[in-house]
Amino acid sequence: MKTLLEIEGVSKIFGSVIANEDISLSIKEGEILALLGENGAGKSTLVKAVFGLVKPDSGSIKIDGEVMESGDTAAAIAQGVGMVHQHFQLVPVMSVTENLILGDEPKKFGVVSMKRARSEVLKLSKHFSLEVNPDAKIEDLPVGMAQRVEILKALRREVKLLILDEPTAVLTPQETDELLEVLRKLAKRGVGILFITHKLREVMAVADRIAVLRGGRLVGTTTPKDSDESKLAQMMVGRDVVLSVAKSPAKPEQVLLAVKNLRVNDDRKIEAVKDLSLEVRSGEILGVAGVEGNGQRELVEAICSMRSRLSGEVFVKGKSVPNMNPRAAHLSGVSHIPEDREKHGLVNSYSIADNLVLNRFNEVPFSRGWIRDLEKVAQNGSELVDRFDIRATSASVSAASLSGGNKQKVVVARELSQQLDVVVASQPTRGVDVGSIEFIHKQLIAARDSGSAVLLVSAELDEILSLADRIAVISDGKIVATFSSAEADRNTIGRLMAGLSA
Amino acid sequence: MDAKQGKNFDLSSVFLPFLSIIVALAFGGLLVLIQGIQPLQAYRVLFATAFGSFDGIALTLAKATPLILSGLAVAICFRAGLFNIGAQGQLISGALASAWAGYTFVGLPTLVHIPLALIYGAFFGAIVALVAGALKAYRGVHEVITTIMLNSIVIALADYLTSTPFKEPDQPLTRTPKIQESAQMPDFLGLPLGFFLAIGLSVTLWWMMRKTTTGFSIETIGRNKNAGWYAGISVKKTVIISMLIGGAVAGIAGAVETLSITGRFEPAFNAGLGFDGITVALLGRANPLGVIPAAILIGGMRASASTVQFEAGVAPELVDLLLAMILFFVTAPLLAKFFKSRKENVAMTSGWSN
């Protein structure tokens, strides 16, 4: 087998941060190499170097035996490198066909021929057994499908080496399984695949070889056969990680959060939460399990008053929370760890300290009347940076300089340090490294033990199973079943999540 | 990568305005050279006139005063992520309102009359901005569109008012009567009083942005509107407050001009002061203190334009050309960054550090 990619001694330094240090790797034809590492381990920098988006300070990258001109994406594409970015590079209002031909349109008499384009797309999709509807608009497609289009876009240019940057971060478990299947198929056809992730299960399922990065250095390469999930986790973080969470039995008391007959629309004005009711008691974690896009986001945002409720009510400690007023929800005792920390949770250009008071900058002691008390803000900042193990030189540096896991810890620190009655945690460990996951889980359990009612919404069934005291399965905007953690069974829940009957 | 980006931002925030001024001066010098005049000689005259004597400095500061204020009006809105192109209309509204207050009220003591006329200016400037702010907050209409439209409306309305109801009686010109003596803003220590007012407002707004909850709300929605909404900040209210502050400050700019320079309102006055405010705000990195040196630089160039023509033989349009080029060179990289950072879901102001 031919060697497709040869990385030799690549180093890259950004300012004072060593992103890559003397990394050497290779990929053969038809091989799937998983690049594993925590956030900030240097995975993205390395693949960006391969794709020509980043110019390494030293070392060389050879594709198919040819030395690549560094820092030149066009050359990388010409040499057969394709990249599927974490954030899709698709035009939402255009059709699948239009997106696929963009930049290289089949022409007839100098005019784009949509007929030829369409048949070309069908042929391509058939060739790789990646089914798509050529006429569907991207914005109407589920995320998994959109990603498939993104992959086809890369394949259309006859790639030899396909790079996928955290492709499963946005996918449901089913879509993830489909993607892994697709990757296997492509590998069989001789495509070399470089697959970045920090999800251990996927690595074990699909990789031929696994390369682990930590702190910008290659810790080692192994194969799924010679390793297991806990060994990989150790390699990633350099210490033992408890993947299952230690916790005492719940001692549920009075109902703190009650949702009654809630109906909510999604962004497309289609009803996403349908007459949903639930209750969470003091001292318990209610886990909402479900395939993403079944109304979880709308449910959470409606509880936190960020999204308009069509009907139904939300009660905190028996008091109704007003509609469309996040401030009122906060004041009535709701902490919210939002699903999307970049969009809602943080102001990246603000300091960590300012982010830590984002929703109470106008409360005592952080301000008195109209005047902010910046000293108290700074004090609170350094205190929480210590207490929540946020890895930063100080609380005055910008949030943008943190890795994903540490950004999430800032959000968690802000929300949980307030000791409010209700904690709504939505995908609290998404895109977070293993070390931070463990820490965040412990914090959620501590919040429960201190008497908060915790509503945990997560797409990771394992997370729900290991944290929740009760599990509610959501499907098509409705709670279809509720289990105690003792009677929870992975298969039953999986079937219910998929909309089947138990 | 993030670390590197942070560094770039800091560097460019100090570096970029200077660079754009130098590049603009270099290009301007080239054009002067084409006219057959020594560029260094022309620039020497320009700067000697503007900053070389007390009288020169006094004139420079007088020219800089409305620019500081209109720059502030644009800068505060920038902080909230709003592009207030309507400073011109707000300024004219304020200028006319203060002129009316200046000539209508008779027999007031100066200490009452001047503040009263200033308040009239601020109020009517704010009213114009409120229209754009409310449309943005409640109907989602883009402020660039509404403020441009409002500029035209205000200019036409001011034309009408000065030609009919507010017209100075018994003379042919389209202009208001002269303001009462009690409303005329005096000099202070040989410098225009309005200048001190402008500095005071700059410092106040700088302090407000840094130290108050209102400032934090404005800054937050400017940098990440979604996070602001999540954190319980009323985005609508904050948009309206920012526009009101911007409009009031622009209105004061017009009022100071009326009360200390022109003494009455005439449609031809105040041309371009509001638009120069955009240049000043960008050059000052949307920082309430940064607009002061930016406005003094531009004020100095304006103040010495005619002397440069007289002594060095350079057409006074050179100054306009230089200003346009400074604006161009300061905005081109900024806009590039704006579009780049929009991809990263960061607002325009994120690159402008305090």
Contacts of B222 in chain A (CB under 8 A): none
Does B338 have pLDDT greater than 80?
Answer: no
What pLDDT, on a 0 to 100 scale, did the predictor assign at position A237? 66
CB contact under 8 A, A327 and B232: yes
Model confidence pLDDT, tens digit, residues A315-330 = 999 999 999 999 999 9
Q: Which residue of A has its CA nearest to B231?
A: A359
Chain A contact set for B3 (CB, 8 A): 14-17, 401
Place of tokens 């004061």: B252
Do the domain assignments include residue A385? no
Domain end, chosen from A237, A268, A283, is at A237
**pLDDT band at residue B9 using 50, 70 and 90 as cut-offs:** very low
Do both A184 and A270 map to the same domain? no
Convert the pLDDT of each residue in B302-312 to its tens digit.
888 888 888 87
A287 bridge partner residues:
A456, A471
Show the domains of chain B with their CATH numbers: 2-351 (1.10.3470)
Nearest chain B Cα distance for residue A338, angstroms? 9
Same domain, A190 and A311: no
Residue B7 touches partner A, C-beta closer than 8 Å = yes
Same domain, A51 and A148: yes
Which residues, 6 or more positions from A246, have their beta carbon under 8 angstroms from its beta carbon? none
Answer yes or no: is A387 within a domain. no
pLDDT at residue A33 is higher than 50: yes
Of A361, A372, A398, the CB nearest to B6: A398
The verdict on a CB contact (< 8 Å) between A347 and B216 is no
Does A382 reside within a domain?
Answer: no
Instruction: Provide the pLDDT for residue A361.
Output: 95
Say if the Cβ atoms of A358 and B231 lie within 8 Å: yes
* Structure-block tokens of residue A302: 């409606």
Instruction: Name residue A319's beta-bridge partners.
Output: A316
Coil/strand/helix, residue B244: helix
User: What are the start-end ranges of the H helices in A271-373?
Assistant: 296-303, 326-331, 352-355
Measured between beta carbons, the chain A residues lying within 8 angstroms of B6 are 398, 400-401
- Partner A, chain B 193-212, Cβ-Cβ below 8 Å: 211-212
pLDDT value at position B29? 86
Examine the fold and report which residue of A237, A267, A285 is the final residue of a domain before the chain moves on: A237
Side-chain-side CA neighbours of B129 within 13 Å: the count stands at: 37
A93, part of any domain: yes
Contact list, A354 vs chain B (CB under 8 Å): 216
Instruction: Identify the helix (H) or strand (E) that includes residue A125.
Output: helix A114-127
Measured between alpha carbons, how far apart are the two ends of chain B, in Å? Answer: 22
Residues of A in contact with B2 (CB under 8 A): 400-402
Torsion of CA A144, A147, A151, A154, to 10 degrees: 170
Percent of chain B with pLDDT over 70: 90
| Judgement on whether residues A140 and A41 belong to the same structural domain of the protein | yes
| Domain match, A267 and A229 both | no
Based on its alpha-carbon atoms, the radius of gyration of chain B, rounded to whole angstroms, reads 21
Per-residue pLDDT band at A242 (split at 50, 70, 90)? low
Domain co-membership, A196 together with A322: no
Cβ neighbourhood burial of A126 (10 Å; 0-12, 13-18, 19+)? exposed
Task: Please give the pLDDT value at position B46.
Answer: 85
- When scoring B211, B230, B238, B343 by the number of chain A Cβ atoms within 10 A, the one with the most, hence best to mutate, is B230
Q: What is the Cα–Cα distance from B170 to A22, expressed in whole angstroms?
A: 87
Which residues in chain A are contacts of B230 at CB distance < 8 A?
306, 326, 336, 338, 344-345, 358-359
Domain match, A462 and A490 both: yes
CB within 8 Å: A362 and B2: no
| Helix pair B2-34, B273-283: axis angle to 10 deg | 130
Q: Angle at CA B198, nearest 5°, toward B196 and B201?
A: 110
Render pLDDT for A383-415 as a digit per residue (tens, 0 to 9).
999 999 998 889 999 999 888 889 999 999 999
φ/ψ of A370, rounded to 5, equals -90, -15
Give the count of beta carbons closer than 10 Å to the beta carbon of residue A9.
Answer: 13
More confident residue, B168 or A471: A471
Q: Measured at the alpha carbon of residue A40, what is the angle toward residues A199 and A87, in degrees to the nearest 5?
A: 65
Q: Domain tally for chain A?
A: 2
**Strand arrangement of the beta sheet that strand A271-281 belongs to:** A271-281, A255-265, A309-316, A319-320
ipTM (interface predicted TM): 0.84
Query: How many CB atoms are located within 10 Å of the residue A331 CB?
Result: 17
Provide the mean pLDDT of chain A: 88
- How many whole angstroms from its chain centre is CA B173? 28
The answer to whether B227 contacts chain A (CB < 8 Å) is: yes
A360, part of any domain = no
Instruction: Assess if residue A380 is contained within a domain.
Output: no
Q: Which among B6, B214, B345 is the nearest to A343, CB-wise?
A: B345
Q: Higher pLDDT residue, A110 or A96?
A: A96
Q: Which of A349, A371, A374, A424 to mutate to test the interface with B (most CBs of B within 10 A)?
A: A349
Q: Please name the helix (run of DSSP H) or strand (run of DSSP E) that holds residue B115, with its range, or none.
A: helix B110-139
Residue B350 touches chain A, beta carbons under 8 Å = yes
Contact A252, A469 (CB under 8 A): yes
- A57 and A193 belong to one structural domain: yes
Q: Compute chain A's Rg from CA coordinates.
A: 24
Given CB atoms, is B226 within the 8 Å cutoff of chain A? yes
Range of the domain at A124: 3-237
When pLDDT is cut at 50, 70 and 90, the band that residue B116 belongs to is: very high
The pLDDT tens digits of the residues spanning A12-27 come to 887 666 788 899 999 9
Q: Which residues pair with A263 in a beta bridge?
A: A311
Residues A213 and A307 reside in one and the same domain: no
- Per-residue pLDDT, averaged over B226-253, amounts to 96
**Pairwise pLDDT comparison (A86 vs B354), residue with the higher score:** A86
Q: Give CA–CA dist B203/B182, Å, rounded.
A: 27
Q: Are residues A206 and A324 in the same domain?
A: no
For A288-304, write each residue's pLDDT tens digit: 988 777 899 999 999 99
Final residue in a domain of this structure, among A179, A207, A237: A237
> Is A361 inside a domain boundary?
no
pLDDT interval class at A79 (50, 70, 90): confident
* Structural domain includes residue A354: no
Residue A259 sits in the same domain as residue A208: no
Q: Do B223 and A348 touch (CB under 8 A)?
A: yes
Q: Does residue A229 sit in the same domain as residue A261?
A: no
Integer Cα distance of A94 and A99 in angstroms: 6
Give the CATH number for residue A97.
3.40.50.300
Mean pLDDT value across residues B140-154: 94
Which residues in chain A are contacts of B234 at CB distance < 8 A? 327
